[in-house]
């Protein structure tokens, strides 16, 4: 059996003036997933550096990190890695410049399910339900957002 390990993911909570949060709909690892934008921490990166890199990769533009929002405070087994525990770190963020990528009006707005397919959409925090997101930690974050 391999040594236990940690998988660390870092996410942006971006809220617009209408009190909508930006969601990412993706097809990765042969799975449809609705989640917050962000991704995996790479060796040698800090969490903020990771999120800035992910913003460039996903949005093609920079974000400003405003504040820490939440870090996983319960055990969550990784769904995609054997013998691994998932830790997620969420930051409140905003775009440095006006949005220059497509925002969709519907979820999973891509033509076919090819690994790496991704679309973005705004979702009202007031109307957002935890079960609309794929992963347990994101669902907890939805509950925390509703308390703001």
Q: What is the mean pLDDT of each run of 10 residues along the chain (148 residues)?
A: 84 98 94 96 97 97 98 93 94 97 96 90 98 97 96
The tokens describing 46, both together, are: 């800090």
Neighbours of 8 (CB within 10 A): 17
Assigned token pair, 78: 């990784």
Do residues 107 and 32 make contact, with C-beta atoms less than 8 angstroms apart?
no
pLDDT at residue 42, rounded to an integer: 96
- How close are the terminal C-alpha atoms of the chain, in Å? 43
Give the pLDDT score at 140.
98
The confidence score (pLDDT) of residue 67 equals: 98
What per-residue confidence (pLDDT) applies to 113?
87
The architecture in CATH of the region 5-146 reads Alpha-Beta Complex (3.90)
Residues 35 and 131: beta-carbon distance below 8 Å: no
- Write down the pLDDT at residue 29: 85
- The pTM assigned to this predicted structure is 0.94
pLDDT of residue 1: 55
Strands 84-95, 5-14: pairing kind = parallel
**Tokens at 29, concatenated:** 């690892």
What are the residue boundaries of the structural domains of the chain, listed by start?
Answer: 5-146
């Amino acid at each position: 059996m391999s040594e236990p390990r940690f998988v660390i993911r870092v996410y942006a909570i971006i809220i617009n003036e209408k009190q909508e949060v930006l969601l990412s709909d993706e097809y990765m690892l042969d799975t449809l997933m609705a989640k917050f934008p962000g991704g995996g921490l790479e060796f040698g990166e800090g969490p903020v550096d990771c999120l800035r890199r992910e913003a460039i990769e996903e949005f093609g533009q920079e974000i400003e990190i405003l504040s820490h929002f939440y870090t996983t405070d319960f055990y969550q087994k990784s769904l995609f890695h054997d013998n691994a525990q998932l830790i997620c770190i969420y930051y409140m963020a905003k775009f440095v410049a006006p949005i220059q990528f497509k925002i969709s009006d519907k979820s999973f707005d891509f033509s076919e399910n090819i690994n790496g397919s991704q679309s973005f959409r705004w979702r009202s925090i007031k109307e957002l339900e935890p079960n609309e997101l794929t992963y347990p930690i994101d669902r907890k974050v939805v509950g925390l957002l509703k308390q703001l």
